[in-house]
Structure 1
Amino acid sequence: MTNRVFNADSVLVLALGYRFQWEPMQDCYVLLYPEGMVKLNPAAGEILKRISEKKQTVSELIAELKVAFDGADLDDDVYQFLEEAHGNDWIRAE
């Protein structure tokens, strides 16, 4: 069994001080914070977009991504990104 920061029932939100948005000049999603900006790759952008748009559990987030990406097996990848995002203080559990 893997020790994870979040479980399937965790509800995630952006951490205080961060704003998620599409940046046309960068042609990608970004996270803005007082000290700067983080350019996100497409996968990270899709995950954080869903976290910023509505409250949902991690399992609901993964189910939504699976529908969007033709049933791809992406559970481990999503959890890995969530742990990285949490480690960077971008997200937190409510």
Structure 2
Amino acid sequence: MTLSANVVPRLSSHYVFRWEESQAAYILLYPEGLIKLNGSAGEILKRCDGQRNVAGIVTDLQTAFPGNTDAISRSTQAFIDLAQDKGWLQA
């Protein structure tokens, strides 16, 4: 399901998001284990703080990583939709 640009995603209460030095990556901890995230996923999830809507997250990423704004928009939306489908995010 595609979330609209006005939706404000936040991490599900079943997960803990943090930087793990030993993994040199952002991770999602949950009772059964952990998920090691790639750099892009970590940058997106750290912005899913319950304060910004999807459009704001995309804008912030486009500012932080200038370049192909269309690709950033598409990949951010795709990841947020996937993360919600997996239950990592709530809207």
TM-score in same-fold range (> 0.5): yes
How big is each residue's C-alpha offset from its partner over 1:40-69, in whole Å with a ceiling of 9 and x where there is no partner? 0000000001113x5111111000000000
User: Alpha carbon RMSD of aligned pairs, Å?
Assistant: 1.2
2:30 to 33, 48, 62: 33
Give the Å deviation of 1:72.
2.8
Match of 2:80 in 1: 82
Corresponding pairs, count? 89
Write the distance in 1 (CA, Å) between the matches of 2:3 and 2:67: 22
> Can you give the 5+ residue segments of structure 1 that lack an aligned partner in the other structure?
none
Write the distance in 2 (CA, Å) between the matches of 1:26 and 1:40: 10
Q: Runs (4+) of structure 1 moved beyond 4 Å?
A: none
Q: State the TM-score, normalizing by the size of structure 2.
A: 0.91
Match of 1:59 in 2: 55
> Can you give the 5+ residue segments of structure 2 that lack an aligned partner in the other structure?
none
Q: State the TM-score, normalizing by the size of structure 1.
A: 0.89
